[in-house]
Copies of this chain bind each other. A is one copy, B any other.
Amino acid sequence: MKLSKRGEYALRALIDFGLAQELGRPLLQVSELTAKEGLPIKFLEQILMQLKAAGYLESRRGKHGGYLLARPPENISVGQVVRLIDGPLAPIACVSQTAYERCSCPDEEHCGLRMLMLDVRNAISNVLDRYTLADVVEVTMRKLRKDKVPLPFALEPLLARSSSRPKSAKRPKKLNGQSPAE
């Protein structure tokens, strides 16, 4: 029932982009991400490109380039991201809602394994398809603040003054005066 590293990194990255946007600096460089999370940079690049191709991220090229969310986090379903990267949620193809495939058993309609795995699929979907990136970011932020953990993603890493505003900026959300970390 594993989530692949690729899937893990993709979600970590998206969550970071969500946090970054919330904190007023939506644009992150690949190198910042790999530094914060300790991931192989070239591998992460591939993943970000895939997320971009799928419409989750957009990018700025050149010297002070980077990636940022292309859509409001409320609009990004965690389940869809997992499907993009790791394939269907269902443990076996014959119970997948999005990628059904007949399985080998002689009588699907009376297959005990299938009934069981359908329950599992639905259980997984009931989590992943209910949460959006915004939910995950929100609960993360809440927990960080509650425990007074320094928030990540300093407002200005070197210079990024002229970079664009978040696409669907919510109210700017005044933060408490934490010193940024890392």
Contact = CB atoms under 8 A, between A and B. Distances in A.
Contacts of A37: 104-106
A139 B114 CA distance: 11
A111 to B, nearest CB: 8
A107 interface: yes
A3 B112 CA distance: 15
A70 interface: no
A120 B112 contact: no
Contact of A127 (B39, B88, B123, B136): B123
A37 B139 CA distance: 46
Contact of A3 (B104, B117, B126, B131): B117
Given A110-B149, A116-B131, 10 more contacts: A1-B86, A1-B88, A1-B90, A2-B87, A12-B113, A37-B104, A37-B105, A110-B143, A112-B136, A112-B139
